[in-house]
Chains A and B, each alone.
Chain A
Amino acid sequence: MSDRREQRVLDALEQNRRRPPKFDAPRIDMSHGAGGKATHKLIEGLLLPALENPALAPLSDAARIPFGDSYLALTTDSFVVRPLVFPGGSIGELAVNGTVNDLAVSGATPLGLSAALIIEEGLDTEVLRREVEAMAAAAEQAGVPIATGDTKVVERGKGDGLYVVTTGVGVADPELDLSTASVRPGDKILCSGTLGDHGAAILIARGDLDLEAEVLSDTRPLTPLVEALKGTAGPGLRLMRDPTRGGVGTVLNELARDSGYGVVLWEEKLPVRDIVNGACEILGIDPLYIANEGKLLAVVAPDVADAALEALRGVEGGEEAEVIGEVREEPERMVLMHTGFGGTRMIDMLVGDPLPRIC
């Protein structure tokens, strides 16, 4: 095939890719909730065009809304975990930490949370009490009040026991400009600890795999890690993300796509617990795409990377932090990984999740 003809095909693909996505599925199916390509298509092809406004447009973890001389940070998340209690945590704790973390990685200081409970008829009161207490404990640990809330009860069979929706509001730090626009080639990518613990814990806790392994969810507030980074990296802190649904692979693909740069990872630097790796090998899934609920990904300028790594490692929950990769000029808009075996691997965005939803 001539190089020119091949280039024409590639150019056509590229043009297609840059066109705003159209959402043409006649119905919503489970892939639209998996956090991969189908979810993106739903958000960018249906939700974004309908709701279009400048606060929503960046699609960041928390929106920035102008307020006086400063900005408010606003975020919301719904939690539909099965089982409600899993090794290392439960839905109540997760619902508070998840929203606190979305504020924290946006560089905002959380001010207050709201919590809406959607309860299925027949839920044991003790289960509800335990989850509300878990929410209270997590909110206290994060130093944020749950200031308002709502309860609804739905008929038996119309909910998995309990769904929780939390919304968080915070004040943005005016000194910080966290966005993909501030990312530069040469910047280092830091990860605060081991990958895939939450997703693996949930999969094993479901029990349909006959797999027994002691894996704990990593759910925790990221606020102390974020504070440590802000303190050491200062303006060298470019971007922070919370790699939940879709995992580190998806977040880094978003970074590559939005910044236009390439992202390079070193497989041997990826912190993954042996037991999680083993479970993934058996199940044929990849720790790069599994949800985390207490991990921080940060992009920092190269000159502050060492100090930032030290700072993370000094905080509880950051002991196993690593520099896992860096931003490069080339290859544009792609994520590549040097494999431990000595080759390179292309890390694509998750297409859809063959596994049950896990967060």
Chain B
Amino acid sequence: MKYVDEFRNAELARAVSSEINSLVDPDRRYKIMEICGGHTHTIYRHGIKDLLPEGVELVHGPGCPVCVLPMGRVDEGIAIAERPEVIFTCFGDMMRVPGSKGNLQEVKAQGADIRMVYSPLDALRIARENPDREVVFYAIGFETTAPSTALTLQRAKKEGIENFSVFCNHVTIVPPVRALLDSPDLRLDAFVGPGHVSTVIGCRPYEFMPEDYGKPVAVAGFEPLDLLQSILMVMRQLDEGRCEVENQYGRAVPWEGNLRALESLAEVFELRPYFEWRGLGFVSQSALKLSEAYADFDAEVRYSSPGVRVADPKACQCGEVLKGVLKPPECRVFGTACTPESPLGALMVSSEGACAAYYNFGRKSYEKVEIGSRR
């Protein structure tokens, strides 16, 4: 497949892999966090850990928007979806995210009108086609998906579509990373920065990571060679004693970001003072809500969502696993109260979360797998 196969070339992979190998100090262990859930997917899908030397470990970060959504926000979405006048729209991967009393898929089975969409513009189209119903879009995602929600709201306002509103759960990537970096028991050496988010916000927002915390960053693309090359870039920084933000994904990420998208975000959204993250607790200024100018489209206002907080169980130790302090099986609730079928923590929600992967594949989820010859 053109424009894809080039970035999946096994020969180039071996070359990059041996270069990474040559930079490893045998007396040292390296922990590198890939912040973005999309990168985690690439790592699993192409088996990238098998191409890394023994001492280099990848730690999966908090960048999976459905995983970090707290139960309270899911419950509030469900409460809106259950209203008879509402057509509730969301992305497909939201359907299985657990609230305190079930997920959207189960509520749909009970009769709620819940429809999967591929874009918020589809939700707006449904609103146009059903003027006698109220259409709510359950918005999730980092700065990657927020511009498409912003654009949809701008359009709804311009067209005067009154039966459309947005339940906004957009989050921002920098605050949780800062919260991780602030933690005294952090054991990470460097970061692979998110790709899609950075196409919107650019690279500048990560500059505090090397400057204030001394951690190298390489913003990376989503093909396996992108990932491997960005790991090489941070390993080089560590080897040479450099510490800066580098952009591996130059073909898509401008250093300053996408100014038009940022303008739309600034018009439609404002920062919430704080927001809860599943497994991480409250993080200040880490999420977006609709601005005053768009308050008429805010489902939280329209349905007076109570903002109920459903506490994560105290025993949940996602934060420690994220920081690299604990391995999944060391968490107090792993495999007992928290399983892939009924997850408590963020890392058990997605099948690629560190805990879910460990649950399904045991040690093989982080060890190298030896399966003999290729043929």
Contact = CB atoms under 8 A, between A and B. Distances in A.
B363 interface: yes
Contacts of B116: 354, 356
B331 to A, nearest CB: 10
Given A30-B109, A262-B371, A351-B351, A341 B92 contact: no
Contacts, number: 122
A30 B95 CA distance: 10
Interface string A273-288: 0100110010000000
Interface in A28-44: 28-31
A339 B45 contact: yes
B7 to A, nearest CB: 9
From B106, B334, B365, name the one whose CB has the most chain A CB atoms within 10 angstroms.
B106
Nearest to A26: B106
Interface of B is mostly: helix
A337 B92 CA distance: 27
Given A27-B106, A266-B375, A341 B335 contact: no
B371 A264 contact: yes
A12 B339 CA distance: 13
Given A31-B105, A354-B93, A348 B351 contact: yes
B91 to A, nearest CB: 9
A341 B329 contact: no
Given A336-B369, A338-B374, A344 B50 contact: yes
B1 A281 contact: yes
A330 B46 contact: no
Contacts of A338: 47, 371, 374
A351 B340 contact: yes
Contacts of B13: 341-342
Interface stretch (B208-216, B287-295, B354-362): B354-362
B1 A343 contact: no
B283 interface: no
A281 B374 contact: no
Contacts of A209: 118
B129 to A, nearest CB: 13
A13 B358 CA distance: 10
A277 B118 contact: no
A24 to B, nearest CB: 9
A9 B327 CA distance: 12
Contact of B46 (A9, A208, A343, A356): A343
A354 B95 contact: yes
A277 B4 CA distance: 10
A346 B93 contact: no
Nearest to B225: A341
B118 A31 contact: no
Interface in A198-254: 208-209
User: Which 3 residue pairs across A and B have the least CB separation, nearest first?
Assistant: A343-B47, A354-B92, A343-B50
13 contacts: A1-B327, A1-B330, A10-B362, A10-B363, A13-B359, A29-B106, A208-B118, A264-B372, A339-B45, A342-B13, A344-B371, A346-B369, A351-B340
